Structure 1
Amino acid sequence: MPDNLSNTAENRTVDWLFGVDVEGPVVPLKMALVTAAGNDATAGTEVTGGSYARKNISVAAAVNGAVTNSADLVFTGMPACTVVGWEIWDSFGTPVRWCYGPFDASKTVAAGDEFKVAAGAWTFSAS
């Protein structure tokens, strides 16, 4: 997916590349689920309610400019909603949104259901 970095991530990446700033995201990185997509400048509408909480995401080293999740991400006790996409946030005191995108297909979940992103099912590509 081209251009799925937030404006903040784009600026910080360029700053890092040219030595202006060497600070990266504060780990662990966390996946958030959204019911309405965001864009480069604005976060999407994050799921709220039930037992929903962002999940730590781990990835292996990039291959051909892409990474995938290396473990299942299981969101339990979901509220009734339709999940359309994801966002990756860091763990800074005021978290920073780094990237975002849609899932291949939206999924409607009932209250109490779980939403699972199986290991290897999510991919982030810099190109």
Structure 2
Amino acid sequence: MADNLTDTAENSTLNWLTGNSTTAPTGQLTVALVTALGSDSAAGTEVTGGSYARQDVDFTTASGGAASNAADVVFSGMPAGTVVGLEIWDSAGSPVRWWHAPLSASKTLEAGDELRFAAGDIDLSLG
């Protein structure tokens, strides 16, 4: 998922690199699934229904300009629909969206399905 930082993340990164801020995501990062893609400045349409809820995600230490999810991320009891992308959010009181990207292939789900991203499947890079 190269070049998929949100405008907020781009500005925070530049401010950190230039010493103007120490802004970082607040709390646990989570993965949100979307049925319509967002952009750098606008969130996508998040999945609703079933037992869907954002799931916690931890990332490996970056190496070679990339990091990936350290453990499986599992969504259970999904509603019927098609997931086209994902977003990474923090857990601030008003959560901030940091990353967005399309899936390599859309996932069509039936009610009650599970959607799993195995460890290493969610790759973030700046290159």
The answer for the alignment partner of 1:5 in structure 2 is: 5
The gaps in structure 1 that reach 5 residues or longer are none
**Root-mean-square deviation over aligned CA pairs:** 0.9
Please name the residue that 2:108 is paired with. Answer: 108
Q: Is the 8 A contact 2:2 2:124 kept in 1?
A: no
SS at match of 1:10: helix
| In the alignment, structure 1 residue 19 sits paired with structure 2 residue 27 | no
Contact 2:3 2:125 in 1 (8 A): no
Once residues 107 and 73 of structure 1 are traced to their aligned partners in structure 2, the CA distance between those partners, rounded to angstroms, is 15
Which string of whole-angstrom CA distances, capped at 9 and with x for unpartnered residues, describes residues 45-68 of structure 1? 000011000011011100111011
**Which residue of structure 2 aligns with residue 33 of structure 1?**
33
**CA offsets per residue over residues 9-37 of structure 1, 9 Å max, x none?**
10111111111111210121000000111
Is 1:53–2:53 an aligned residue pair? yes
Give the superposition deviation at 1:2.
Answer: 3.7
- Correspondences of 1:90-101 after superposition (within 5 Å): 90-101=90-101
Structure 1 runs (4+) deviating above 2 angstroms are none
Inter-partner Cα distance in structure 2 for 1:73 and 1:3: 22
* Alignment TM-score, normalising by the size of structure 1: 0.97
Code of the aligned partner of 1:102:
P
- 3-state SS of the aligned residue for 2:60? coil
Count, aligned residues: 127
Distance 1:10 1:60, change over 3 A: same
1:90 is displaced (CA, Å) by: 0.3
Q: Which amino acid aligns with 2:83?
A: V
Q: CA deviation at 1:103?
A: 1.1
Structure 2 residues not aligned, in runs of 5+: none
Partner of 1:125: 125
**What is the aligned-residue identity percentage?**
57
